[in-house]
Amino acid sequence: MQDSKVANSDGWYVYKSSDEDGLFMPEMWDWETLEDFPLVHQEVKVIYSLLEMFIRSQAPVYGYYFGEMHDEEPSDLPTQWDENDEKKEEKIWSTVYDTPASYYSKAYEYHSITTHHSDEFTYYAISKHGCSFQSALTEHVRIRNDDS
């Protein structure tokens, strides 16, 4: 899969929210294959709808990073923990969606969306298609906050 966008100076690939590219690239969702797995297909449609609401309806452009496709991690990508917290107990990512255990036990896949809010940006970590034998691949998105 070739990415035609060039990363901006801080490592994010910038896409228009209206485009079928980046996070919304059809190959990343593989709707046809998912039809063979009705529970997974149903859950992924929910996740896609949430992302449309959070990203497409909130920002005309968004930054995108997917470690499986892009080389350099963005310089401002938040870590899992607050690096200024000596106890390292303060998670800075909040869970928006996580596959319920009862659903996972039937579908055998998990998905999650987490978010982090800074003064300038809102970040999303979208993890899809994890299972007991393989961790979910995670894509990252950032959108500029309106009040910045």
Residue 28: closest CA among 144, 141, 142? 141
pLDDT band at 1 (very low <50, low <70, confident <90, very high): very low
Per-domain residue ranges for the chain? 13-71+81-144
Q: What is the dihedral of CA 51, 54, 55, 57, to 10 degrees?
A: 110
Q: In this predicted structure, what is the pLDDT of residue 5?
A: 60
Q: What is the dihedral of CA 86, 88, 94, 95, to 10 degrees?
A: -170
Q: Which residue has the higher pLDDT, 8 or 97?
A: 97
Residue 25: pLDDT above 90? no
Task: Evaluate whether 80 touches 92 at the Cβ level (below 8 Å).
Answer: yes
pLDDT band at 6 (very low <50, low <70, confident <90, very high): low
Mean pLDDT of the chain: 82
Quick one: average pLDDT of 58-65? Answer: 91
pLDDT band at 125 (very low <50, low <70, confident <90, very high): very high
Q: Which residue has the higher pLDDT, 34 or 130?
A: 130
Separation between Cα atoms, residue 104 and residue 108, nearest integer Å? 5
Angle CA 22–24–26, to nearest 5: 105
Query: How many of the other CB atoms lie within 10 Å of CB of 43?
Result: 22
Q: In this predicted structure, what is the pLDDT of residue 3?
A: 44
Residue 76: closest CA among 16, 135, 143, 3? 143
